[in-house]
Structure 1
Amino acid sequence: MGDLAPWQKRYEKMLVLALLFGLMSQYLFVGAPAGISVMVFILGFYGLFFYSIKGRMGGFEKWQGQASAGWLLLIPIFLLALTYVLYANSLFRQLNLFALFGLITAQTVLMTRSSTKPWYRGIFYIELFFLALVKPFAFIAVPFTLVNDRWRGKESGSETRSKLGKIALGLVISVPILIVVLSLLASADDIFLSWLAEIPHLFGDFSYGDGIWRIVVAVFFAFYAFCYIWGLLFNKTMDKSSGLAADPQAAALNSSMRIQFDPITAGTLLITINLVYVLFVVIQFSYLFGAANGLLPEGAAYAEYARKGFSELVMVALINVVLLMCGLHLIRRTSAAADWVRKLSLTVLIGCTIVMLVSAYSRLSLYEEAYGFSQTRLLVHGCMLYLGVLLVIAMLRIWKEQFSMGKAYICVSIIAFVIMNYANLDARIAAKNSERYERTGNIDISYLKTLSTDAAPELMRLRDKHPELNGLNDVIHKLQQEAQQHSKWQSWNLSKQRVK
């Protein structure tokens, strides 16, 4: 096995320093108001920055004074950072946060010649916005690529070590996904939250919530700092005239930018996430679907427990769809056994996602029983059914590679959209709310006023059954007036005609 190129070792050290910077950041800011920590944070960032751009600060200066302006910005940056040590005015502490971000961004762009525009022109600040808030996210895969290249380079040395490295990489990648997923699932289900709350007891005084927040902060600062500086280093990776990479080091990395995850790494990621999902599914069958009232957290009513969390579950389902697409298209095929593990893991992922959708659907139904029916809630019902059909199609695609999922998705999407148009949502809303009124005696008259004339026939039937219902006549009268506003034949509409 050949040695790594010096530039690759340098970028790996840059990644390690960025991770250390992230760890330092969470230590400085989580649980502690900003003070001298701001000075330490800025010094840490500049340490990472100057190490990364070492040897790249020279070059042609198109606009005279650009580099000098960059160095001069150190003065206001230092003075503004010092205010966090000297003063406590809350207004300026908040304003200085944005000012420091803008000044540091401008300085680093000027010093790396990342913009060809003069700093005193408005277009420079538009480019600054792009470089600071948009472009870094285009390089979010670079840290994983560097780690993946490092472990792939060791394959010829030790097969066992290489496999352990791939498993470790899969676990590392799963951490940020699990943070988001666990947060959503814990918000969606009180029992799942109570189970998670027991975990910290195994570690003494460790705070689960505080630990997750520290990890989120550390990962954010580490990845953002690395990707931002990477964007400055390779601001122009392609020479437009020749179509070749302007930097040979960037060219070497660009060759591996087409991400294809190793099956061991991807399998580790999917299995780790599936373990959490299987636990959650067990809870759904034991508590929600089984209506095990006696096992609910103390003081929790079943109805209140059940109707929470449908929006969080839908979000988790959408995250799983992204994971599914990555599993179908971004995992490298190596052996039949690895491919079987991939297919099985994706199938379990889809199965758990379908259970989550069923849980979300039933929770939303209970929520509607408690708070009434609306267009948004019925649309969410329809979208969950639509997503469930897409998942079934995806499961078919997992085991039958020749099946065209794209064609099926397009056809199903068109059919679903047409069905939603003909479902007559306003009429359904009126009918469902009428049924709820007869069961519970509760109805939201103010919301009924927002419905179209499609709802009029159902509302008239409700008026005939319950003429004593206050406000209903006003709603129907409003719809009748709306129908009579446009009497020209060009505006003829069946829904409005039935109300006149």
Structure 2
Amino acid sequence: MESWFADIQAGTPAPVRTATLWAALATGLLSMLLLGEGLAVNLLLVAIPVTLGAYFAAGRAGRRPRPWTLVWGVGALALLVVPALRDADWPSFLAIAAAVAVGSLALHGGRTWTGMLFGPIGLYTSLITGPGWGWRGLRERTGGARGNVGPVLRATAVAAVLLVVFGALFAGADAAFADLLAGLVPDASVSGGPWHAVLFVLGVVGALAAAHTAAAPVQWDRVEVPAGRPHGRVEWALPLVVLAVLFAAFNAVQLAVLFGGYDAVLEKTGQTYSEYARQGFWQLLLVTLLTLLVIVLALRWAPRDGARDRTLVRGVLGTLCALALVVVASAVRRMDMYVEAYGLTRLRISVVTVEVWLGLVIVLIMVAGVLGARWLPRAVLASAAAGVLAFGIMSPDALIAERNVQRYERTGTFDLDYARGLSADAVPALDELDEPLRSCALKHIAEDLEADVAPWYATSWGEAHARDILDGRALSPEADWRECSRLNLDLAYR
């Protein structure tokens, strides 16, 4: 166990650079000034000095950026664009979590499945070792050694005092200048002092942790997973062939339904249109997940004696993957049927996105069977990060509102209660509704926007765009709670 840990543990990091310390200080100051009001473009602004500090630390340690390092780094920053664009919390949370995972790969440089899965752990351990590493470097520079930063810190403090004093005087002399400062300068009031101090510490610690990880990453790629015991051809292939036959029979029924129409199937089974779609989707989603598990285990126990075994493995698993793609298409079609019957929701758009991504993973596995699987771990994680980025940019709340408004225009049914719970991203689509339904759908969103006014750096583009729409067209006074309740009951049971 000790030998295993010694193989992967991080080496001694090179001494911290002055540029890295300045980047950590900048991160702390930006965190203190910008992150107290919410998350939007401020998160991206804070991430820039974190990235620079990690780059300086890696360069001091002799690590040079490789193509995949740049891909992961740019991908992490791109994911942080989502909170700047979207008001909805749930796609922003997914994007931030994905940015941390992808950013850890930029710091570690993982290539294998173990490197992909365990990379973030090394980043979290640096939260303890990184601040000590930075503190040692700071003491070396403030103890009289060459390159002392003491005079620079004193000069910075004097400049800050001069800015505060003269800025306050100018603001008192001119109201327009005071408004300009109020809009540009973050709030650093005494009442929020403890919270600002916490944000400063978190920013410095996070920047030093990232830099320490870049300077001395844990070598998770050195963890070797023992290969599975190969089985005989018949023992290995027979269960998979039987499963493939079952898949083929199911897919044949799906094709028959597709060309023969759903009416005959519904008449025979006694199900409604929506019941048929809802029941089938969740089972098929589970089938897709289990198929991926079967493929992973089959590869682990596959026969490996020669070219004939490799041909057998590729043929059997390739056929199973191709049939699984038909199952994925059937699951997506069933969810589309269910949405047509009951409308689009956050859960429905999320699970269908996951199903489509699982289909992409199956395609990548098929390609790896032909070209080799060395690149597969990176490709799978990159596809997941790209999916989260695309999911956030396309604005799921806006898509949900747009699809449901179109369904209302077609069928006359609308879930008003659900529309009220959407974020400001849904305002452009809901604004297309007729009065008083429009005002009933937008009233709660408008009240939330009015109660939660944040500075420019903590305001997403979706929220700002929604404010512009609501300011340009006022809500109808007829949309009181009685009228909205009547509309909700009327539209729900049409």
Range class of TM-score, shorter chain: 0.3 to 0.5
Higher relative contact order (CA 8 A, sep 6+): 2
Q: So what's the TM-score if we normalise by structure 2?
A: 0.46
Q: So what's the TM-score if we normalise by structure 1?
A: 0.45
